[in-house]
């Protein structure tokens, strides 16, 4: 009885699978695209000392990490749909979820570059991070109220679903390669 009620509550709170796939497609596009960018950035120097098999293996090791990162990032907009009122986030999930994930990815990338540069946490992080989270949530809330912006973000998300068909099977293959190499 408890699990049936819990399942019904989740089904009522979570958006439809097509909408979740659209937002996850944007996340996959951003995270896997970032990995491809850095892979090709380092590729010319790697060509001097790595074989083709080692180059493919290096990329294969990055893909399972990308899956974990994308699932972690995807859990954030899903958590918003669970904890905020339905009319705030679930009704415009594709547009607001896309805006949220793009903004969150940009902020996390910026924090990562600052941390890498300083080799420490940035000064003022204890007040900057909550302020950034509130700013992102405010922007995402406002995005849901601007119809043209919602339409643009929904179109981007609906087109990004195609990346799920490419990168998820490629990641499964990479995971098999990683398991075989580590046996």
Q: Does any domain span residue 57? A: yes
Q: Supply the pTM of this predicted model.
A: 0.86
Residue 176 lies in a domain: yes
Residue 128 covered by a domain:
yes
Token pair of 61 as six digits? 């090791």
Domain span at residue 141 reads: 18-181
Chain segment 138-165, per-residue pLDDT in tens: 888 888 888 998 999 999 999 999 999 9
pLDDT, tens digit, for every residue of 10-47? 777 788 889 999 999 999 999 999 999 999 999 999 99
Rounded (10°) CA dihedral 77, 82, 88, 89:
30
Residue predicted with more confidence, 122 or 140: 140
For the chain, what is the domain count? 1
């Amino acid at each position: 009885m408890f699990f049936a009620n819990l399942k019904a509550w989740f089904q009522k709170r979570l958006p439809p699978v097509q909408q979740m796939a659209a937002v996850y497609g944007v996340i996959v596009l951003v995270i896997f695209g970032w990995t491809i960018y850095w892979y090709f950035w380092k590729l010319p120097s790697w060509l001097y000392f790595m074989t083709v098999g080692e180059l493919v293996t290096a990329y294969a090791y990055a893909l399972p990490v990308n899956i974990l990162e994308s699932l972690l990032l995807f859990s954030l907009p899903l958590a918003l749909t669970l904890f905020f009122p339905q009319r705030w986030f679930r009704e415009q999930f594709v547009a607001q979820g896309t805006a949220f994930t793009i903004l969150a990815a940009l902020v996390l990338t910026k924090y990562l570059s600052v941390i890498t540069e300083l080799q420490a946490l940035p000064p003022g992080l204890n007040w900057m991070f909550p302020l950034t989270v509130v700013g992102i949530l405010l922007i995402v809330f406002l995005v849901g109220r601007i119809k043209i912006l919602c339409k643009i973000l929904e179109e981007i998300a609906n087109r990004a679903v195609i990346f799920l068909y490419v990168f998820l099977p490629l990641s499964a293959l990479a995971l098999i390669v990683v398991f075989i190499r580590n046996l």
